[in-house]
Amino acid sequence: MKFNYLYFFIFVFSLVSCNNFYSIEDFSSVEKIDAHFHIYNKASISFEQAKKDNFKLFSVNVYHGNCEEVIESNQTTKSLNSKFPSEFGYASTFCLDGWDKPAWDKNTISWIDETIKDGAVAVKVWKNIGMEFRDKDSVLIMIDDPQFDAIFTHLSKKGIPLVGHLGEPKACWQPIEEMKANNNKNYFTNNPQYHMYLHPDYPSYEEQMEARDRMLKKNPEITFIGCHLASLEWSVDVLADWLDRFPNASVDMAARMGDLFYQTRDDNNKVYDFFIKYQDRILYGTDIGESGGENKESFHKRMHETWLRDWEYLVTDNKMTSHLIDGEFSGLKLPKEVVDKIYAENFKKWYKIF
Ligand SMILES: [Zn+2]
């Protein structure tokens, strides 16, 4: 009798352990959300591939320095949202024109409310705050500037999440040859205006992070989603400490897979433990952008290959290589329930849509 029980438990255990992990083949059958995508094209070609791979898309509008562009991207995402209400969501943004005029904050709040009425569910701020915009006295505007207080208080009160890409990867302050992720090497080689190593007169990495944290301390009720692993991509230990300090914050992984890959290559268990411990606060995202004019076939291929590579990394323990880093690393093989959270449940909880 005892013998039969033993076999029974072994049988049940093996069933449970088999079912506790996804495989590569499960990719298209599991519901997923790309929490950090950009679409600037009303006749978007992204949805076709997203549907095939079982992805919903969340587009994050960005103020690159032109108010007209902000209005236009709001129109584009509004129209996509009415076309694909259950497959598409978006964050709006605001511009800094008129910053030095007294009505700036009132006008900005009205604009934000209008975009929320249109269908946006969050508001994005970008790295040009802290790295580019100056007031009438040529002083660089940082994210903890008191003039933002009314805006962020408004978002807190209304329960509208703030999406922040503030600062840059730490590598931005390093010389190209010291950067560990190849994507950083490429980006900063091609965008020297944002390569802060070349601009020592600008705030340091630490000053950018401190300004962001001071803003969060001023607004303890605000829901904050830190894009690109909250610019703390270089160390899961430092990111863990930051998440402990700001319980209303979560992070998306967009465009920082390379940083996760090299930390995994160096210490797989450490990255695995990080994902397990913070499984409710990590959102999958890619930062893929469609601006119109892309070749459909190669764009779809890029979407599919990026999504599939990251799926392999998160659900299997396959030995992998990637153009993002040098050397080999193993996938994390996260349990199903953690994978489901990272790909969909956390998004629904933090953004309150879908
Ligand atoms: Zn982005």
pLDDT digits (tens, 9 = 90+) for 284-316: 999 999 999 999 999 999 999 999 999 999 999
Q: With a cut of 60, say whether residue 274 has pLDDT above it.
A: yes
Q: Residues whose CB is under 5 A from ligand 1 (ion)?
A: 287
CA dist 167 and 204 (Å) reads 9
Q: Band of the pLDDT at 193, cuts 50, 70, 90?
A: confident
With a cut of 60, say whether residue 71 has pLDDT above it: yes
Query: Cβ contacts of residue 273 below 8 Å, gap of 6+?
Result: none
CA of 8 to the centre of ligand 1 (A): 51
Whole-number Å distance, alpha carbon 106 to ligand 1 midpoint, is 27
Q: What is the pLDDT of residues 202-214, one digit of tens each?
A: 999 999 999 999 9
**pLDDT score recorded for residue 14:** 54
Backbone phi and psi for residue 204, each to the nearest 5 degrees, phi listed first = -75, 170
Query: 324, exposed or middle or buried, with CB in 10 Å at 0-12, 13-18, 19+?
Result: buried
Distance 77 CA to ligand 1 centre (A): 15
Please check whether residue 38 is in contact with residue 289, taking contact to mean a CB–CB distance below 8 angstroms.
Answer: yes
CA of 6 to the centre of ligand 1 (A): 53
Is residue 5 very low, low, confident or very high in pLDDT (cuts 50, 70, 90)?
low
Residue pLDDT, tens place only, 323-341 = 999 999 999 999 999 999 9
Distance CA 110, CA 323 (A): 44
- The answer to whether residues 58 and 90 touch, using CB atoms and an 8 Å cutoff, is yes
Distance of CA 252 from the midpoint of ligand 1 (Å): 10
For residues 106-137, b (16+ Cβ closer than 10 Å) or e, as one string? eebbebbeebbebbbbbbbbbbbbbbbbeeee
Residue 18 has pLDDT above 80, yes or no: no
Between the CA of 60 and the centroid of ligand 1 the distance, in Å, is 7
Q: How many Å lie between the centroid of ligand 1 and the Cα of residue 62?
A: 8
Give the rounded percent of residues in the chain with a pLDDT score beyond 90. 93
Using a pLDDT cut of 70, give the percent of the chain over it. Answer: 95
38 Cα: distance to centroid of ligand 1 (angstroms)? 7
Q: What is the pLDDT of residue 19?
A: 84
Residue 297's pLDDT is what? 98
Distance 11 CA to ligand 1 centre (A): 47
Sign for the CA dihedral angle at 96, 149, 163, 178 comes to positive
pLDDT for the residue 232: 98
Instruction: For the chain, give the mean pLDDT.
Output: 95
* Tens-digit pLDDT profile for residues 51-64: 999 999 999 999 98
pLDDT of res. 194: 85
Report, as an integer, the average pLDDT of 185-201: 93
| Cα 304 to middle of ligand 1, angstroms | 18
Q: What is the pLDDT of residue 7?
A: 63
The mean pLDDT value for 66-82 works out to 96
Phi/psi class of residue 333: alpha, beta or left (left: φ > 0; alpha: ψ in -120 to 50)? Answer: left
**DSSP for residue 324:** T
Enumerate the H helices of the chain as residue ranges: 2-19, 46-52, 67-83, 104-118, 149-158, 182-190, 205-218, 227-230, 236-245, 257-266, 268-277, 296-315, 336-340, 346-351
Lowest average pLDDT, out of 181-190, 226-235, 245-254, goes to 181-190
What pLDDT does 16 receive?
54
Q: Taking 70 as the threshold, does the pLDDT of residue 176 lie above it?
A: yes
Residue bearing tokens 């591939």? 49
For 328, residues 6+ apart whose C-beta sits below 8 A from its C-beta are 265, 319, 320, 321
Residues in Cβ contact with 323 at an 8 Å cutoff, skipping those fewer than 6 apart: 182
pTM attached to this predicted model? 0.94
Kindly list the structural domains of the chain, giving each domain's residue range(s) and its CATH number in brackets, ordered by start.
31-351 (3.20.20.140)
